[in-house]
Each structure stands twice: as structure tokens, then as C-alpha cells.
Structure 1
Amino acid sequence: MTYEEKIGTERFDAMVADFFANRYFDRGMRKWQGYYLSDHTAALKKQSKSEALVYPPLPLQDQAVIRAILLQAYAEGQTVTAQLNLQTPSGQMLPPIRGKVGGLTDSDVVNIADQNMAIGSIRHIELIPFAASTHQKNTPD
């Protein structure tokens, strides 16, 4: 049995109204300031920095070129950088997506860096070359 059922709805509503009208003091934002942990402030700073970056629109590529690069990257396991033909509400280009091509579907969807996107929404794509090996084999003369 709830307290409201025990004393009646009218009396309970009057008690609640009296509490908020006469006894409760809202401290506003001061009561929330303790919840800002260092992790939160670091994440907020990182987000504001990334939003401040401006990504210029890269040249618009033909869909045949984009598909060829995607197929090559998938077949060879290479990393790509793809810029989508999408903008933020303020008119800025979205940051490029960098990662390996996880697969392509018959319905023109590609998976890059665990994100699914329509191939038609890709504006520009580039292959990231494999890092040159810095180790050389020692062979006897």
C-alpha cells in the first residue's frame, strides 16, 4: 500500500503541493556541478575540438572509380579514407571515415570501419598505402 492510498489522494496532493511551494529549495545548477568528472570534461573538450575542425570537400569522384577502389581495398585488405557527401546542419563536411572495407552487398551498401553506408553517399575515397617495411633481411654475401 502506498502512502497516497493510505492518506487519500486529495490529502496527498495537498501535501506534495505544500512541500514544493514552501519547503523545497531548488539550488539550480549548483547541485549538478559535482557530477562533472574529469572524464566528462575531457570528452567535452575533445568533442568541441573535433567540431571546430573544418573538412574541405574533396573532389567528387565517379561512382565507377569509387566502386573500383572499394573492391581493390576489400580484395587486398587495404585501409581507405572515405568522405561522405553529407554535411552538418551548419554546412560543414563530415569528418572522413578511415578504416578497412569489411564487405560490400548487392544492395550498394559498404562496411568501412564497422559503419554501413550507401556507396552512392561516398563523395571521395582514397586507398591508404601499406606502410613500407623498415626491416630489411640480412642476407649473407
Structure 2
Amino acid sequence: MTYEDKIGKQKFAALVDDFFANRYIDRGMRKWQGYYLSDHTAALKKQAKAESVTYPPLSLQEQPYVRMILLRAYAEGQSVTLQLDLQTPNGQMLPPITGKVAGLSDSDVVNVDGQNISIDMIRHIDLIPFPV
């Protein structure tokens, strides 16, 4: 026999409502902090480490040179590594983009690794040579 059966359903419901309304103090997120799994903490550490990596600004290259490298990489099927002339809100350079040049358009847009990039936004580009 349960306590609910002893005192009746209505009194038990009133007792429960009173307990949660007046006596129970919810600790919020503090009660969940012990439930973080190792996978979660590892992922959080990996994200924090990735955000703390800084990329130094590479030398600013002239547009004709950038276009020549892009055309050569596209014609020969080679990959490139490029750094955009953009910064994060805290002044850090964006990570470099590495991939094959999938195409060039007449409107000065190049597709590298599935991303459409304006050629004017490329700060530095390097051709990745084929392995010998």
C-alpha cells in the first residue's frame, strides 16, 4: 500500500503540489554538471583548442600572380592552399582553405573545395605540388 492510497488521491496531489510550490529548491544546471560524458568534454576541449589556434597573415600577393596560380591549378588538376584577406571579429586571420580548383567564372569567382570565393578576397595562394 502506498502513501497515496492511505491519504487519498486528492490529499496526495495537494501535498505534492505544496511540496514543489513551497519547499523544493531547484538547483538549475548545477545538478547536471556531474553528467557530462567524456565525449562531451573531449569535444569541448577540441573546439576550444581549434578556436585558440592563430593563423599569421601571409604575404599579400598581386592579383595577376593569384590568377596565374589559380589557372595553373585548374588546368593541371592540382590543389591550392589559400588565405583570404578576411579577419574574425577579434582580429585573427581565418584558417587557410585547401582544395582543388573546381572552376573559374567570368565574374572573378573561383570554386575551391566546394566554396565560391571572390578572387579579389584572396590574400595569399600556394600551389600544392604533386607528390614525386
Question: Does the TM-score normalized on the shorter chain lie above 0.5?
Answer: yes
Partner of 2:53: 53
Please tell me the residue identity of whatever aligns with 1:49.
K
Instruction: Normalising by structure 1, report the TM-score.
Output: 0.70
Q: RMSD of aligned C-alpha atoms?
A: 2.2
Per the alignment, do residues 124 and 28 of structure 1 end up closer, same or farther by CA in structure 2, a change over 3 Å counting? Answer: same
CA distance in 1, matches of 2:50, 2:29: 27
Give 5+ residue unaligned stretches, structure 2: 1-17
Instruction: Normalising by structure 2, report the TM-score.
Output: 0.74
Partner of 2:114: 114
Please tell me the residue identity of whatever aligns with 1:67.
R
**C-alpha displacement at 1:57, in angstroms?**
0.7
Please tell me the residue identity of whatever aligns with 2:27.
R
Per the alignment, do residues 44 and 69 of structure 1 end up closer, same or farther by CA in structure 2, a change over 3 Å counting? Answer: same
CA distance in 2, matches of 1:61, 1:47: 31
CA distance in 2, matches of 1:92, 1:103: 28
SS of aligned partner of 1:127:
strand
Aligned length: 115
**C-alpha displacement at 1:42, in angstroms?**
2.5
Counterpart check, 1:40 vs 2:50: no
Query: Identity across aligned pairs (percent)?
Result: 74
Give 5+ residue unaligned stretches, structure 1: 1-17, 133-141
